[in-house]
Amino acid sequence: DGGITQSPKYLFRKEGQNVTLSCEQNLNHDAMYWYRQDPGQGLRLIYYSQIVNDFQKGDIAEGYSVSREKKESFPLTVTSAQKNPTAFYLCASSPRTPIPHNEQFFGPGTRLTVL
Amino acid sequence: GQSLEQPSEVTAVEGAIVQINCTYQTSGFYGLSWYQQHDGGAPTFLSYNALDGLEETGRFSSFLSRSDSYGYLLLQELQMKDSASYFCAVSANDYKLSFGAGTTVTVRA
């Protein structure tokens, strides 16, 4: 089955620790995205990548870092510089074409709690 | 940048019709999408409008007026399983989506 996987589903970390969230897709999509969702709020874009070895900052990139070394993988690191890291993190992917109908396919999410 | 406004909550009974409005401000507008998210789950795509008019997909329909920077999602014959959050999202001249804050729809028996 094609899809997007995120692991783990729940993650707990101590304040001051960096943590990396996994996102893998086998849909052969070029574009991948990371969103943050806080309770009762919409999705805010952290980083996105349109092609391997290239990525751009979204609206709330401070305190986060990403890499895109393989087409199918787009890991997100939440660094100790992120002041409020506790949130629900969603990864998505989409084909670069056709444009403009860039439907995004989402993974199940990782709920990060920083203690 | 982009900004979107949609109501925060809507409550209706089974079998009713619900309309969720979305107004947006954006540059380089391409289209308006709608996503559904059940509590704790992943958002899933519902519909997309690039041109003015109504798009119908089963019990759900979506409308767009580009001149008014306005769209809506119409949920008909409401079922309990339709209780979820619904997000409008605009796509502009890039590969990004900008999401609204979401509308929580509660369906009562």
Q: Are A111 and A85 in contact (CB under 8 A)?
A: no
Identify the residue with better confidence: B109 or B27: B109
Confidence (pLDDT) at A40: 79
pLDDT digits (tens, 9 = 90+) for B14-50: 999 999 999 999 888 889 999 999 998 999 999 999 9
Q: Is B45 on the interface with A (CB under 8 A)?
A: yes
Q: Is A57 on the interface with B (CB under 8 A)?
A: no
Confidence (pLDDT) at A1: 64
pLDDT 10s digit of each residue in chain A, 115 long?
A: 679 999 999 999 999 899 999 999 999 999 999 999 998 788 999 999 999 999 999 999 999 999 999 999 999 999 988 889 999 999 999 987 655 566 899 999 999 999 8
Amino acid A90 reads L
Chain A residue numbers with beta carbons less than 8 Å from the beta carbon of B51 are: none
Residues with Cβ within 8 Å of residue A109, at least 6 apart in sequence: A6, A9, A37, A88, A89, A90, A91, B40, B41, B42
Of B89, B95, B77, the closest CA to residue B22 belongs to B89
Residues facing residue A43 across a β-bridge: A37
pLDDT digits (tens, 9 = 90+) for B58-91: 999 999 999 999 999 999 999 999 999 999 999 8
d(CA A36, CA B14): 32
B44-49 and B31-37 beta bridge pairing? antiparallel
Confidence (pLDDT) at A103: 86
d(CA A75, CA B68): 39
Mutation to test the A interface, candidates B96, B99, B104, most A Cβ within 10 Å: B96
Token digits of residue A21: 């969230």
- Which of B1, B42, B97 has the CB atom closest to A107's CB atom? B42
Q: Are B27 and B17 in contact (CB under 8 A)?
A: no
